[in-house]
Structure 1
Amino acid sequence: MTPRTRLAAASLVALAALGSACSTGASDGGSSADTSADTSAGGSVADAPAAESRQDALAFSDEADGAVPITAASVDTDRKVISTGNVALRAEDVGEARAEVQEVVDRYDGEVAEENTGTDDDGDVARSRLVLRVPTARFDEAVESLTGVADLVDASTTSEDVTTKVLDVDIRVRVQRRSIRRIELLLDRAESIRDIVAIEAQLSRRQADLASLEKQQDHLADQTAQSTITVSIARTREGQEAEPEADDAGFLTGLASGWDGLVTTAVAAATVLGAVLPFAAVALLLGLPAWALLRRLRRRPAVPAE
């Protein structure tokens, strides 16, 4: 068999393996591509040991071409957490509270990613909603500082451990990149148009999968490096702070309830009186002349019959 024939046969074997790997989906596409690419170097898919885990399969595919195996130990395994917080505040001067929130953001090397501020008829700031991004390492300190900016209404935080997800995406990105490099080697060695078209189709698909994985990787890196805190500031209603704490019983409570009942009764009576008064005035204007006429008719002596 001539070298050219041997190369064409190896390319066809590799393409067949790549075609079968495509049916496994994007989740395990990286390891399948590496195994199929190794067949171009003279190996066979049947020669691969039965891998009990993704790391074992990756190690086998990397050892085939002398590369350093990609395993969980070869990537960053630090704990990765996505933290989010919500802080609701109330202040008499919303503008001043907004400025203090900015001071907290600057103190912890954060940034205001989004802001929605509204004013009243006089142009004064009446409400403000801010979405803050602060380093994850200083998330707890930032939340504690924000709760002291004004009167705290509510505060909550959530944390999600995504270490496994980050590790999985990182490994798949590395495997996919090596798979693309091997397919590019096959493309450089291909001579027939049929082989070139088939290899380019596989290469395009692998590059699209890699782009998708890299977007996931960038998103996770951003979410784990910077935490999100949503701060809402509302204006304190007039007289809200002066209101005493509500008591279920007591003299003052009874007095307040009685006074409220008296006021309510007086308002109801005045309302009824106001509604009836116009009708009473009309009845008086029409009734007085009629009553006088009736009395005059009654006093007139009766005419004797002849």
Structure 2
Amino acid sequence: MTTRTRAAGVLTALTMSVLMAACSTSDGGGDALGESSSGADRSTGQDLARSDGAGGGTSRELAAAEDASSSESSGSSGPARPSGSGSQVATTPELERAVISTGTVSLSSKDVAGARQDVQRIVDAQGGDVTEESTETDEDGEASYARLVVRVPSGRFSEAMAALEEVDGVVASTRGSEDVTTQVIDNDVRVRAQEASLKRVERLLAEATSLRNLIWIESQLTTRQAELDSLKSQQSWLTDQTSLSTITIDISADRAKPVKKDEADEPAGFVAGLSGGMDALTSVLGAAATVIGALLPFAVLGLVVGVPVWVVVRRRRATTPAAAETPAA
């Protein structure tokens, strides 16, 4: 009985040792996770200390105060530990892709205004809007060219392009897309980090006791607020570009070219000869009329000047023989 009792005691001691070792290991992992989660907050305080060498003690005091406030805020929340051996590992949520889609469509139509109305009906059916439009008119006041920039929901981009490509007179169409998922995620993370940093600086500003600390913290607050505004502007632009797709549509007038007559369709025989003779006669009469019209001014000038000259010369000729026949006295 003594030997069995000792064996049971040794087995119990070994079991307790294994359980205590497992508990200490899990506690150590949790502490490591807590330290890693608060490392980003400490880096913000260290950035304050390095941002201005002239600040000296002031920047170090603010860095220490911010580090302490971030440690207090992160100390209350620790990483969740799985309870029991049957707990399941949380699955990573499916990542939603962010894509910027663009397209262009070129149309050629005899009726530019009518094609413009067809495009407007398609845009309205897809829930889009015309954001830009320019129109040119010809000498008769009719539309000869139109350019439209439309925005449609990203989920209806393919349907809108397919509908536009079915419009009569499509000359060309192109599509393009850019995946900005990584850029959107990075920008969102930076915005959240900057907002948290701004809140900590505002809390330090409320706790400032000296004028030197107050001036320093206000400068840091202004700088971080400007960075946050810039990040939010980028975030708004990405949201707009990924939620609405842009399609540019060009509509130009279709100028009909004159149809050339086929030589095989021309008449032959007597009709052809008669037609050719009439054309030749018309050409000769036209040429003669042109020559007569060109000589007519000179003929009028000749009559005006030549007739008086001719009369004077004739009278002189009539007078000269009469004078010659008169006898001398």
TM-score (norm 1): 0.60
Measure how far apart 1:18 and its partner are: 1.1
- SS of the aligned residue for 2:141 comes to coil
Q: Which residue of 1 aligns with 2:121?
A: 103
Q: Which residue of 2 aligns with 1:271?
A: none
Give the number of the structure whose residues are more often helix, by fraction. Answer: 2
- SS of the aligned residue for 1:65 comes to helix
Change in CA separation of 1:68 and 1:89 when aligned onto 2, cut-off 3 Å: farther
Measure how far apart 1:62 and its partner are: 8.7
1:20 aligns with 2:20: no
| Cα contact 1:37–1:183 (8 A) shared by 2 | no
Gaps of 5+ in 2: 1-42, 54-61, 80-90, 265-289, 291-329
Q: Of 66, 77, 87, which aligns to 1:40? A: 66
- The code of the aligned residue for 2:68 comes to G
Q: Of 144, 148, 164, which aligns to 1:130? A: 148
| Distance (Å, rounded) in 2 between the aligned partners of 1:213 and 1:75 | 25
Which has more radius of gyration? 2
1:206 aligns with 2:224: yes
**Which residues of 2 match residues 268-279 of structure 1 at below 5 A?**
none
| Distance (Å, rounded) in 2 between the aligned partners of 1:200 and 1:75 | 40
Q: Of 185, 207, 223, which aligns to 2:241? A: 223
Q: Which residue of 2 aligns with 1:92?
A: 110
Q: Of 175, 178, 189, which aligns to 1:171? A: 189
Q: Which residue of 2 aligns with 1:79?
A: 97
| Cα contact 2:45–2:66 (8 A) shared by 1 | no
Q: Of 53, 60, 65, which aligns to 2:74? A: 65
| Cα contact 2:127–2:153 (8 A) shared by 1 | yes
Deviations 1:188-231 (A, max 9, x none): 11100001111111111000000000000000000000000000
| Cα contact 1:81–1:162 (8 A) shared by 2 | yes
Q: Of 109, 120, 129, which aligns to 2:138? A: 120
| Distance (Å, rounded) in 1 between the aligned partners of 2:233 and 2:63 | 25
| Cα contact 1:133–1:229 (8 A) shared by 2 | yes
- SS of the aligned residue for 1:216 comes to helix
- The code of the aligned residue for 2:159 comes to E
Q: Of 202, 205, 214, which aligns to 1:196? A: 214
1:155 aligns with 2:179: no
Deviations 1:130-163 (A, max 9, x none): 0010011111110111122221111001100000
Change in CA separation of 1:218 and 1:110 when aligned onto 2, cut-off 3 Å: same
| Distance (Å, rounded) in 1 between the aligned partners of 2:71 and 2:114 | 60
| Distance (Å, rounded) in 1 between the aligned partners of 2:238 and 2:248 | 19
- SS of the aligned residue for 2:151 comes to strand
| Distance (Å, rounded) in 2 between the aligned partners of 1:144 and 1:68 | 52
- SS of the aligned residue for 2:171 comes to strand
Aligned residues: CA RMSD? 4.9
| Cα contact 2:104–2:248 (8 A) shared by 1 | yes
| Cα contact 2:66–2:201 (8 A) shared by 1 | no
Measure how far apart 1:76 and its partner are: 9.3
Measure how far apart 1:21 and its partner are: 5.7
Change in CA separation of 1:243 and 1:87 when aligned onto 2, cut-off 3 Å: farther
| Distance (Å, rounded) in 1 between the aligned partners of 2:114 and 2:225 | 51
What is the percent sequence identity of the aligned residues? 44
- SS of the aligned residue for 1:42 comes to helix
Deviations 1:100-138 (A, max 9, x none): 111011001100010000111111111100001001111
- The code of the aligned residue for 1:65 comes to S
Gaps of 5+ in 1: 1-12, 24-35, 44-60, 245-250, 253-273, 275-306
TM-score (norm 2): 0.56
- SS of the aligned residue for 1:101 comes to helix
- SS of the aligned residue for 1:206 comes to helix
| Cα contact 2:65–2:204 (8 A) shared by 1 | no
| Cα contact 1:90–1:151 (8 A) shared by 2 | yes
Change in CA separation of 1:207 and 1:15 when aligned onto 2, cut-off 3 Å: same
